[in-house]
Amino acid sequence: MVNKSIGRAHPYIPNTVPEVKEEMLRIIGVDTIGELFKGIPEDLQYKGKLNIPEVLDEFELRKNVGKTINKNVSTDEVISFLGGGCWEHFIPAVCDEINQRAEFVTAYAGDAYEDHGRYQAMFEYQSLMAELVDMDVVNVPTFDWAQAAATAIRMASRIKDRYEVLIPKAISPERLKVIKNYCSPHITCIMVDYCEKTGQLDLEDLKNKISSNTAAIYFENPSYLGFIETAGEQISEIAREHEAITIVGVDPSSLGVLEPPVRYGADIVCGELQPLGVHMSYGGGLSGFIATKDKVEYVQEYPSRLFGLAPTVKEGEYGFGDVLYDRTSFAQRENGKESVGTQTSMWGLTAGVYLALMGPKGMYELGQTIMQRSQYAIKELGKVEGITASRFGNVNFKEFVVDFNETGKTVEEINKQLRAKGIFGGIDLSKNFPELGECALYCVTEVHTKEEIDTLVSSIRSCK
């Protein structure tokens, strides 16, 4: 075995060179490094050796870690129809080129001078996203859509000084878990039924549940189950009648073709940035946004940082800084608005690059292609005996519920057989939506070719 400890300073740690260590100790005026830890009581000093594998050098590391991650089957190697909050999309090469730049990758919380470029890129992201959602204010990104929704709800609760929020039962179960956690213990989440046939929010149930305690109605477009909620205007009207705030969660890849929620009455818009040029990374690509109009009572309730433009002492220069910094918990600790910290700025920056590349035409074509491909998939799947390709009679965007109840097979069985054929079938809804029986949520985006959709259809047809 090679002895790795002889004469080899660790490449990540320059001062492991013994002579340098000695010199530094001498300057400090101590004999051993151990003396520097004398503030830690003896009984708290760990005497054992951590049970962690031996050091690997870079070559070994590449082989070892490479071998481990190669056990994963990536969606590049199969045809995947998984969505449900994280989606496979086309990612322009420029997005990766920019978000892998060492300057951005290794930057953090520098000031507006040293990190001018980062501030400008974030300001531009805020500005580009504002155009897509047709709102004035967009924040530095949150952790994900779920937390953006939760934070939007908390903002509404503070604005209205009310402590109930109405949420559709057809919401993503993942998202709901996060929202409930962020709302507890102050805000009660009240679930509103959906129409069995169309999936649309049950307006009668909504009217029964809304009251003078309601801070906000939160709903999503497209919904978790893929259908477009068409009663946006009526929902926000009901909210207005009760002086409640309308919050709409959106998938921004739809906004080239779908009306931005502000046009049907949204006061706060939130959603997920991952579709805008960010890899899925097993969910690590998620990143949320919140947008509002430029009203003081809304702006002052954001917990997030908001980068603003300003002149410098030199004519012609754009400078940047934090708008209303004193809102934040950085400035006011427990008295700030909610809580801020390191969230997902890099994905905001990437979404900015993506929107700059796509432009208005690109966003329209993206939306249109997704709609065409998903409609084609619904149509072709619908031809398979026993399958209702879209469980809800409604217009969908990107995702739709495939009903397998009449096939006599479970989604689990079907997905297992599909996996053997190199296909990841849709998300099994039977656990989270037991009322639907054996249904699956299928996702078709601009990356799913006709050939791949046809392969899915023939593979399902041949499931035993």
Partner 1 sequence: MKKIKREHKVRDFHQAKWDEPIIFELHKEGERGVRPPSVEQEVIDSVGDGVSILPVGMRRTEEPNLPEISQNRVLRHYLRLSQETLGAGLNVEIGQGTCTMKYSPVINEAFASSPKMTALHPSQDEETVQGMLEVTHNLDLYMREISGMDNFSFQPGSGTQALFAMASIVREYHDTNGEGNQRDEIITTIFSHPSQASTAAVKGYKIITLYPDENGYPDIDKLKEVVSERTAGFVVANPEDTGIFNSKIKEFTKIVHDAGGICYYDQANANGLLGITRAKEAGFDMCFFNLHKTFSTPHASGGPAAGALGVTEKLKPFLPTPLVEFDGAKYSLNYDLANSIGNVRSFHGVPQNILRAYAWIRGLGAEGLRDVAEIAVLNNNYLYNQILKIKGASAPYIKGERLEQVRYSWEQLTKETGVTTDDISRRMADFGHQYWTSHHPYVVPEPFTLEPTESYSKEDLDEYVASLTYIANEAYSNPEMVKNAPYNSTIHQVVDEDWFENPEKWSITWRMYLRKLEKQSVKV
Q: State the minimum distance, in angstroms, from the CB of residue 89 to partner 1.
A: 9
**Phi-psi category of residue 378: left, alpha or beta, with phi > 0 → left and psi -120 to 50 → alpha:** alpha
CA 27 to chain CA centroid, Å, is 50
Whichever of 40 and 196 has its CB closer to partner 1, that residue is: 40
Q: State the minimum distance, in angstroms, from the CB of residue 79 to partner 1.
A: 12
**Per-residue b or e along 155-178, where b marks 16 or more CB atoms closer than 10 Å to that residue's CB:** bbbbbbebebbbbbebbbebbbeb
Q: Which residues make beta-bridge pairs with 189?
A: 165
Are 392 and 197 a contacting pair, CB within 8 Å? Answer: yes
Whichever of 124 and 193 has its CB closer to partner 1, that residue is: 124
Whichever of 210 and 440 has its CB closer to partner 1, that residue is: 440
Whichever of 112 and 463 has its CB closer to partner 1, that residue is: 112
Q: State the minimum distance, in angstroms, from the CB of residue 189 to partner 1.
A: 11
Whichever of 55 and 406 has its CB closer to partner 1, that residue is: 55
E strand or H helix at 423: strand 423-424
Q: State the minimum distance, in angstroms, from the CB of residue 235 to partner 1.
A: 12
Identify the DSSP state of 31: S
Amino acid at 145: W
Whichever of 321 and 406 has its CB closer to partner 1, that residue is: 321
Q: State the minimum distance, in angstroms, from the CB of residue 226 to partner 1.
A: 14
> What is 331-379 written as a DSSP string?
HHGGGSSS------HHHHHHHHHHHHHHHHHHHHHHHHHHHHHHHHHHH
Are 376 and 450 a contacting pair, CB within 8 Å? Answer: yes
Q: State the minimum distance, in angstroms, from the CB of residue 117 to partner 1.
A: 3
Q: State the minimum distance, in angstroms, from the CB of residue 309 to partner 1.
A: 4
Whichever of 118 and 160 has its CB closer to partner 1, that residue is: 118
Rounded to 5°, angle at Cα 300 from 299 and 305: 75
